[in-house]
């Protein structure tokens, strides 16, 4: 009787482990680039990341003519919004 209980418990434990492994497939990273940053490069600009006094980071696109534009405004609205000084 003890063998039967031990065998059943072992089989149940193995089944749970196998079900857990099958239920949670490994997730692959998305690997998608920031579209605003890609747009900056596509129009000939160079991406610059700047950090403000509180540690927030913002991406800017330095254009070939030297102007600096906020990357998301440039991507979304096709407008060059200069950084706030």
Main-chain phi, psi angles of 31, to 5 degrees: 70, 25
Write down the pLDDT at residue 63: 97
The token pair that represents 16 in the structure block: 């749970």
Write down the pLDDT at residue 31: 82
pLDDT in tens, 32-54: 889 999 999 999 999 999 999 99
- Digit-by-digit pLDDT tens for the chain (85 residues) are 566 445 555 555 565 555 555 555 677 777 888 999 999 999 999 999 999 999 999 999 999 999 999 999 999 999 999 988 7
Beta bridge partners of 61: 47, 69
The token pair that represents 58 in the structure block: 């913002």
């Amino acid at each position: 009787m003890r063998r039967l209980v031990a065998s059943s418990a072992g089989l149940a434990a193995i089944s749970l482990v196998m079900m857990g492994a099958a239920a949670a497939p490994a997730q692959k990273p998305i690997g998608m680039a920031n579209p605003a940053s890609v747009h900056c490069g596509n129009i000939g600009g160079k991406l610059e990341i700047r950090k403000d006094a509180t540690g927030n980071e913002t991406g800017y696109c330095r254009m070939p003519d030297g102007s600096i534009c906020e990357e998301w405004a440039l991507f979304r609205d096709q407008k060059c919004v200069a950084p706030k000084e």
